[in-house]
Chain A
């Protein structure tokens, strides 16, 4: 015996130590990934939450014929540079809409310039010392305040950060996803029904299956190239429209819906089919009356997850032109539109701090909607899932 028991037990200790080391390293890896998630979300919240507030100033506004001609004349000289130019620009329109305003001077809250906004939030701003002195005084009087930024939710994109909002992008997202759903849900479910319930096991069926799996792994940007070449250049559909974007995303979502629907159909036990066939149902009647209703929760869960994926997708939409500057919300699927992720992308390219804030705020909105969608999918599965 070359080793004494002492040697061996010492060796054993080392071996067990190595197991422990592996355990802690692997635990650390998981913790690292989780930490990243926390850091990441924390970073977005820190950057984004200021955008939900917007500086407003309480100033006397003079509605006169002069201010209809030159809106700058409506406010006193020392605050002229502090009030949002966008608000001044729409002043004549307000006066045209409400004739009774003429000749009055009203003390009211008006939206401040984005530089004022940044100053009040304690960020860097390009304000001159004279202007900041005025502002400091107004803050003390309570005539300059940060208020809830309702504009962020009700307006579209704007070249003025204080007026830039997500409304038109949100409408664009809704329209695009409607097109996606209208295309991908029926086609996906029908394809899955064919492959699971009708198709004979032959070369053709296998080819479709392999093809669907490959399609699921094709980089999303290539779907954008397809959308550009086929939908826009060949079929002549309008560029930048939710129609093209929705169809492109629909083709991308198709494999997700097919794969999840197939597994939902597969989880329905064969005894149900046999019983239905036994009482004389045809194949379609079995599917329509028994298999589909029983697998519906699973199908819906899969579709919601696919839709959530499509909602966060940007690359193919950039290729089909959905990154345009869209100040007004689209009302039809053939109008030019943008979507939330594309709006985030556009804002991310703007240098002003106010846009950085809004980018992060847009991200927070997008993430919240995605979390809601996924939570809905999980709840749906939990509530209706049946174990056979």
Chain B
């Protein structure tokens, strides 16, 4: 039988078991109640209980089988699975029906089960985090068994060389020429992030000041969603824009000055990325500035400060933790941004301080290592996970510092809208 057929049959069995169990459970409960006994729960609830006790285990059998086939390569015949689930469903039905008695709390039983299902759902987010950690760390360790950790962190040459051939078993007698020094990648990432932050922090912060302090309500209600649109545009679109419009523009601007810029210069993705993260800074900064208590403004104005001085000397210092927090969040977003740099930045690891040269970033190398035909066990492929680990740790640290700062701010001014 085909997988699809088995799947349909299985769904049919589970649905049928549930239906049969529901109606037989309910009718038994109705009979018991008609005989005059007082029951703890409504007949429907007994019906639901028997339905769950019959279809639930059958569903679990199917799930277990899928997991077993996928992970342990155990061969399970479709027929076996169907029969097993049928038997389990029947057994569940019998047990469920036997429990339909006046002194059985069907509603509480359902309640307990639902609680476990909810806990299970909540666990998925934790499992995901562990999944990310385990999958990255596991492969990163394999990488560091091949290449030294110290070279990775401090080396200034990134060149996968012949690591691909080595992994494919064609490297006998050949000296490994691979060099995995990630400093040029870190430098490129840092440079592009720096450019992005230099664009986003002034514009985002000033826009937030305008919206929170100067703008009339009508402008504010329009401006905020318009800025949010910037964050909602897919990054692949920004990447295209950076590569096809901004990068040639930069080359054209600099060539009359006698400065030669690469078409894959770091400036274009940096600028465009900066525009992308403006709303991350402006939105949170706006919230923070509006939640600075009005008494501080009134006090400052009462002392004869002008509006501008109040903003500069009172409001911004008070909002500083929130603003820093917003900037850190935006920075972690910029570090992990992939599509803009993949499309607009270079592929060549290049250790330079000139933003007009092509530079590459951590995320670009991750994508480059994992696309195309590659032996999975090669050092180049695994290097993606080592780079991913660095990215994960750095962004996690930035986020945590950001969360701590914003919590401090909230506690200080008891602002509830953050």
A and B pair up:
yes
Residues on A lying within 8 angstroms of B by beta carbon are 15-16, 18-23, 25-30, 32-34, 36-37, 40, 43-44, 47, 186-187, 190-191, 193-195, 198-199, 207-208, 211-215, 217-226, 228-230, 233-237, 251, 254-255, 258, 282-284, 308-309, 311-315, 318-319, 321, 323, 341-342, 344-345, 348, 356, 359-360, 363, 366-367, 370, 374
Residues of chain B contacted by A315 (CB below 8 angstroms): 235, 338-339, 342, 363, 367
Q: For residues 328 through 366 of chain B, which have their beta carbon under 8 Å from a beta carbon of chain A?
A: 329, 332-333, 335-339, 342-343, 363, 366
Within 8 Å by CB of A314, from B132, B235, B306, lies B235
Q: Please give me the residue from chain A that is nearest to B115 by CB atom.
A: A198
Q: A26 with B233: in contact, given A190-B118, A208-B122, A221-B366 (CB under 8 Å)?
A: no
Q: Is the CB of B111 within 8 A of A29?
A: no
Within 8 Å by CB of A213, from B119, B122, B236, B403, lies B403
Q: A314 with B234: in contact, given A194-B119, A219-B395, A221-B338 (CB under 8 Å)?
A: yes
26 contacts between A and B (CB under 8 A): A16-B308, A26-B213, A27-B215, A34-B223, A34-B226, A37-B226, A40-B233, A43-B241, A187-B124, A190-B122, A194-B122, A213-B403, A219-B335, A225-B384, A229-B135, A234-B71, A282-B107, A312-B235, A314-B338, A318-B367, A344-B236, A348-B236, A348-B240, A363-B237, A370-B232, A370-B233
Q: Please give me the residue from chain A that is nearest to B107 by CB atom.
A: A282
Extra 5 A-B pairs, beta carbons < 8 Å, given A220-B336, A223-B132, A229-B135: A30-B215, A33-B227, A225-B132, A228-B370, A312-B232
> Is B177 part of the binding interface, using a Cβ–Cβ cutoff of 8 Å?
no
Q: Is the CB of B209 within 8 A of A22?
A: yes
Q: Is the CB of A191 within 8 A of B121?
A: yes
Total cross-chain contacts (CB, 8 A): 254
Residues of chain A contacted by B333 (CB below 8 angstroms): 217, 219
Q: Is the CB of A341 within 8 A of B234?
A: yes
Q: A22 with B308: in contact, given A44-B241, A233-B376, A344-B236 (CB under 8 Å)?
A: yes
> Is B196 part of the binding interface, using a Cβ–Cβ cutoff of 8 Å?
no
Q: Is the CB of B210 within 8 A of A30?
A: yes
Shortest CB–CB separation between residue A301 and chain B, in angstroms? Answer: 14
Residues of chain B contacted by A191 (CB below 8 angstroms): 118, 121-122, 124-125
Q: A23 with B124: in contact, given A36-B275, A344-B236, A360-B240 (CB under 8 Å)?
A: no
> Is B292 part of the binding interface, using a Cβ–Cβ cutoff of 8 Å?
no
Q: Is the CB of A225 within 8 A of B230?
A: no
Q: Please, what's the 1-or-0 string for B234-255, where 1 marks a CB less than 8 Å from any CB in chain A? A: 1111011101110000000000
A237 and B67 CA atoms in complex are apart in Å by: 11
Q: Is the CB of B114 within 8 A of A284?
A: yes
A30 and B204 CA atoms in complex are apart in Å by: 8
Shortest CB–CB separation between residue B207 and chain A, in angstroms? Answer: 4
A28 and B114 CA atoms in complex are apart in Å by: 54
A219 and B229 CA atoms in complex are apart in Å by: 20
> Is B110 part of the binding interface, using a Cβ–Cβ cutoff of 8 Å?
yes
Q: For residues 353 through 398 of chain B, which have their beta carbon under 8 Å from a beta carbon of chain A?
A: 363, 366-367, 370-371, 376, 384-385, 388, 391-392, 395-396
Q: Please give me the residue from chain B that is nearest to A27 by CB atom.
A: B210
A19 and B306 CA atoms in complex are apart in Å by: 7
Residues of chain A contacted by B123 (CB below 8 angstroms): 208
Residues of chain B contacted by A222 (CB below 8 angstroms): 132, 136, 336, 388, 391-392
Q: Is the CB of B338 within 8 A of A220?
A: yes
Shortest CB–CB separation between residue A125 and chain B, in angstroms? Answer: 19
A284 and B70 CA atoms in complex are apart in Å by: 34
